């Protein structure tokens, strides 16, 4: 059967790839025997090594942020114990490769960038090599061979973890890209529809203006000016629709780094203070002290904040209150933004992030849709809670 043949070929390809990796690293049967012998050398020290690993992560804000949840921390440390034990068990086969690849997928899921977990392998080198030298202090050749075997298997682990990380990133990018192509296709059709009304209005006003001009000296100047103003407003509306559509359609490639959301918010708040003062809006901010670093695109998060502020100001033409809060709830970072605007009817709250949905006259309905897209790319969720006139 064709499906069975495809599965068999995939297994062979993976097997050949692993053998190629081992050959390139010059990993031999003797290396495997050296590693098995190290099992007794490392075993008594594994608890101390795991503790040193934990202490090292705690020393850096970006990695310490992963250890704020006790359950996650316990799982992470248990995974490190298993990793060290498996390192010297032998049988560096397809199952071993699959386990090491899974580590790369896990790193990607929890937001641990390669620069951090590659550094972890360096930490293991610093902790394990002295144990080898101590155990084989009177057998320098054996110590050298054991160290070389250890380095080879660590290099293999690093290869597999990095490849898995890259593969996961590429897969997610492909999924997002295909979704965006579908969304942009729908948007293009919607843009054509949205442009039709202002274009019809411009055409009608131009016809009326032509009639006024045709009257020559008897032309009603005030009426002509009103028509020109209407044309100008509609052209401006057209420009806004096209501009916001282009921003949405050309959403740039995201550049994720371990960032502090609090720092991004503080920078944003320093920038908007004069704008809020001019709009007679009282502003408050409350940032959680224990907020961990996480993978963010700082520029895109700033875009989210600016769009939400723009909506808030438009909802409070006579002034009001605007607040930003951050917290950690059930191991998730939560950002709350609130204002004292007119509110959103419950029937509209599920639609406000849909492209082109707007309740504001002259609005394009793309600002909040862009916000939703950016949050989605950050693997987050966005919710609206509102009561009219409250």
In this predicted structure, what is the pLDDT of residue 2? 35
Return the pLDDT at 374.
87
pTM: 0.48
Q: What is the CB neighbour count within 10 angstroms for residue 241?
A: 20
Please give the average pLDDT of every successive group of 10 residues along the chain, which has 390 residues. Answer: 35 61 88 91 91 85 74 81 87 83 70 73 88 91 91 87 75 62 61 67 72 66 74 73 64 78 91 86 90 88 90 87 89 89 79 70 69 85 78
CB atoms within 10 A of CB 26: 9
Please report the pLDDT score of residue 363 as a whole number: 59
CA dist 145 to 26, 139, 227, Å?
12, 10, 88
What pLDDT shows up at residue 176?
60
Q: Is the Cβ–Cβ distance between 365 and 355 less than 8 Å?
A: yes
**Residue 265 structure tokens:** 């918010």
SS3 content of the chain, % helix, strand, coil (to 5): 70, 10, 20
Determine the Cα–Cα distance for residues 234 and 362; give it in Å rounded to an integer.
9
pLDDT at 12: 32
- Domains with residue ranges and CATH for the chain: 2-176 (1.10.490.10), 254-390 (3.30.565.10)
Q: Given this model, what pLDDT does residue 11 score?
A: 34
Helix axes 367-377, 221-249, angle to 10 degrees: 10
Three-state SS for 29? helix
Q: Rounding to the nearest 10 degrees, give the CA dihedral for residues 70, 71, 77, 83.
A: -160
Q: pLDDT value at position 325?
A: 94
């Amino acid at each position: 059967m064709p499906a069975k043949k495809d599965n068999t070929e995939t297994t062979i390809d993976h097997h050949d790839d692993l053998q190629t990796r081992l050959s390139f690293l010059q990993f031999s049967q003797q290396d495997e025997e050296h590693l098995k012998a190290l099992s007794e050398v490392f075993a008594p020290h594994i608890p101390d090594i795991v503790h040193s690993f934990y202490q090292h992560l705690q020393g850096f804000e970006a990695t310490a942020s992963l250890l704020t949840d006790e359950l996650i921390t316990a799982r992470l440390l248990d995974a490190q114990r298993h990793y060290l034990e498996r390192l010297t068990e032998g049988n560096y086969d397809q199952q071993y490769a699959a386990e090491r690849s899974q580590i790369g997928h896990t790193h990607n899921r929890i937001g641990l960038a390669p620069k951090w977990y590659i550094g972890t392998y360096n930490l293991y080198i610093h902790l394990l090599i002295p144990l080898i030298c101590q155990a084989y202090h009177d057998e320098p050749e054996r110590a050298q061979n054991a160290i070389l075997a250890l380095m080879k298997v660590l290099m293999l682990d690093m290869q597999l973890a990095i490849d898995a990380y890259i593969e996961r990133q590429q897969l997610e990018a492909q999924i997002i890209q295909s979704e965006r192509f579908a969304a942009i296709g729908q948007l293009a059709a919607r843009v054509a529809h949205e442009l039709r009304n202002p274009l019809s209005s411009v055409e009608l006003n131009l016809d009326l203006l032509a009639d006024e001009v045709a009257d020559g000296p008897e032309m009603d100047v005030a009426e002509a000016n009103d028509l020109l103003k209407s044309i100008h407003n509609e052209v401006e509306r057209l420009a806004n629709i096209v501009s916001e559509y282009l921003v949405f359609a050309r959403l740039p490639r995201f550049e994720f780094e371990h960032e502090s959301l609090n720092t991004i918010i503080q920078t944003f708040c320093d920038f908007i203070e004069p704008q809020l003062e001019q709009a007679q809006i009282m502003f408050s901010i409350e940032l959680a002290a224990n907020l961990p670093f996480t993978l963010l695109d700082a520029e895109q998060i700033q875009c989210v904040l600016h769009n939400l502020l723009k909506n808030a100001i438009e909802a409070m033409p006579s002034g009001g209150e605007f607040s930003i809060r951050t917290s950690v709830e059930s191991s998730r970072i939560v950002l709350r933004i609130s204002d004292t605007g007119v509110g959103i009817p419950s029937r509209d709250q599920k639609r406000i992030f849909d492209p082109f949905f707007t309740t504001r006259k002259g609005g394009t309905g793309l600002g909040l849709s862009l916000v939703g897209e950016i949050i989605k790319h950050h693997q987050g969720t966005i919710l609206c809670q509102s009561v009219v006139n409250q």
